């Protein structure tokens, strides 16, 4: 059954004429299959559908009514097969938990609601392709959102994202690089893989990147045109990383690079006196390393 809370929210916001059309459906048994054209003719006979414009036929108006009711989840064959939910502008403060039962859901809009947090169970929406969070109070995303393999459009004003202790098995760059407004990203003990790869043109608005305590990380690769606005890069205690990120030489606006408690191999590669990676980072104004030598913490400006 469709949860009553969702029905009430969707129904309350309907225009008066659409409310009449929806209530008319109560005449039919649950899960009753009716052809749309038959339903349209019945609505017209009852006087529920009228056109206010001479060049638009009543049938076209009725079809639009049906589309609105489908998008709001009020006309469907089986609730679990529902693919579209549009709660745009609804007076919601809490994410309706019933939504995560909709395993076939492809489109979910929470735009302009007062929802401030997504549940971890969002990962169950394995077929979700579009998630619209614009105008909501959501400021941080749960790490579970990276489980949504089919998610292609994430509409959100998210500026800063911090992932800590999530121990992901799959490259988080792949899922996050298309966030349109992301300006700061922190990955701290968040990934157990060997490689971080950012595709061409990814992370267009990113300005600050922190990569901390990724104990298995061996390589970072930045594609052409990616991270074009990056200004600060912190890499902290990723001891298996022995080279600076591939493609770092193409990030023209990178001003500061901090290498903290990294391997001796990497620190030697960035030294001015013949470091192998030095030519690729010469454009960076400030390069600082913090490391332990003979039991003492040392700080070096390179």
Beta-carbon count within 10 A of 152 CB: 11
Pull the structure tokens for residue 140: 């941080």
Task: Quote the pLDDT of residue 299.
Answer: 67
Quickly tell me which residue has 């990497």 as its tokens.
266
Quickly tell me which residue has 């800063």 as its tokens.
160
**Helix-then-strand count for the chain, H and E:** 7, 13
- Angstrom distance (rounded) from CA 123 to CA 105: 12
> Which of the 8 DSSP states describes residue 34?
-
Task: Quote the pLDDT of residue 27.
Answer: 80
Task: Quote the pLDDT of residue 61.
Answer: 87
Q: Is 25 helix (H, G, I), strand (E, B) or coil?
A: helix
Q: Give the DSSP H or E segment for 17.
A: helix 16-24
Would you list the DSSP string of 42-97? HHHHHT----SSTTS-HHHHHHHHHHHHHHTTSS-S-GGG--EEE-TT---SS--G
- In the chain, at which residue ranges do the beta strands (DSSP E only) sit? 84-86, 107-109, 130-132, 153-155, 160-164, 184-188, 195-198, 208-212, 219-222, 232-236, 256-260, 286-293, 296-301
Q: Judging by beta carbons within 10 Å of its beta carbon (0-12, 13-18, 19+), is residue 238 exposed, middle or buried?
A: buried
Is 136 within 8 Å of 130 (Cβ atoms)? Answer: no
The CA-CA-CA angle for residues 224, 227, 229, to 5°, reads 120
Label residues 259-293 b or e (16+ Cβ within 10 Å = b). bbbbbeebbebbeeeebebbebbeebeebebbbee
Task: Quote the pLDDT of residue 157.
Answer: 81
Task: Quote the pLDDT of residue 52.
Answer: 73
What pTM was estimated for this model as a whole? 0.64
Sign of CA dihedral 44, 46, 49, 54: positive
Task: Quote the pLDDT of residue 15.
Answer: 82
Q: 10-residue block means of pLDDT along the chain (302 residues)? A: 59 80 79 76 88 76 82 65 76 84 86 91 93 88 84 82 85 89 92 96 96 97 96 96 95 96 90 91 93 67 63
- Angstrom distance (rounded) from CA 205 to CA 253: 12
Task: Quote the pLDDT of residue 302.
Answer: 61
């Amino acid at each position: 059954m469709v949860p009553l809370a969702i029905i009430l929210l969707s129904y309350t916001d309907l225009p008066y004429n659409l409310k009449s059309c929806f209530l008319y459906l109560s005449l039919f048994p649950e899960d009753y299959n009716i052809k749309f054209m038959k339903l349209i003719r019945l609505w017209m006979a009852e006087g529920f559908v009228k056109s206010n414009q001479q060049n638009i036929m009543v049938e076209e108006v009725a079809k639009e009514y049906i589309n609105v009711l489908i998008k709001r989840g009020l006309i469907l064959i089986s609730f679990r097969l529902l693919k579209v939910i549009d709660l745009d502008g609804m007076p919601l403060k809490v994410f309706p938990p019933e939504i995560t039962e909709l395993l076939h859901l492809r489109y979910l809009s929470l735009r302009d609601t007062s929802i401030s947090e997504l549940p971890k169970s969002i990962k169950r929406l394995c077929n979700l392709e579009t998630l619209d969070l614009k105008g909501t109070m959501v400021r941080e995303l749960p790490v579970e959102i990276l489980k949504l393999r089919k998610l292609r459009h994430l509409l959100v004003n998210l500026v800063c994202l911090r992932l800590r202790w999530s121990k992901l098995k799959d490259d988080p760059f792949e899922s996050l690089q298309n966030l349109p407004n992301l300006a700061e990203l922190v990955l701290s003990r968040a990934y157990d893989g060997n490689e971080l790869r950012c595709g061409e043109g990814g992370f267009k608005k990113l300005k600050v990147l922190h990569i901390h305590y990724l104990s298995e990380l061996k390589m970072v690769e930045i594609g052409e045109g990616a991270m074009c606005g990056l200004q600060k890069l912190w890499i902290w205690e990723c001891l298996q990383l022995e080279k600076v990120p591939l493609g770092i030489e193409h990030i023209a606006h990178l001003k500061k690079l901090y290498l903290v408690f990294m391997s001796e191999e990497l620190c030697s590669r960035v030294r001015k006196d013949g470091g192998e990676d030095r030519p690729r980072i010469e454009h960076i104004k400030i390069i600082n390393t913090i490391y332990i030598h003979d039991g003492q913490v040392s700080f070096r400006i390179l």
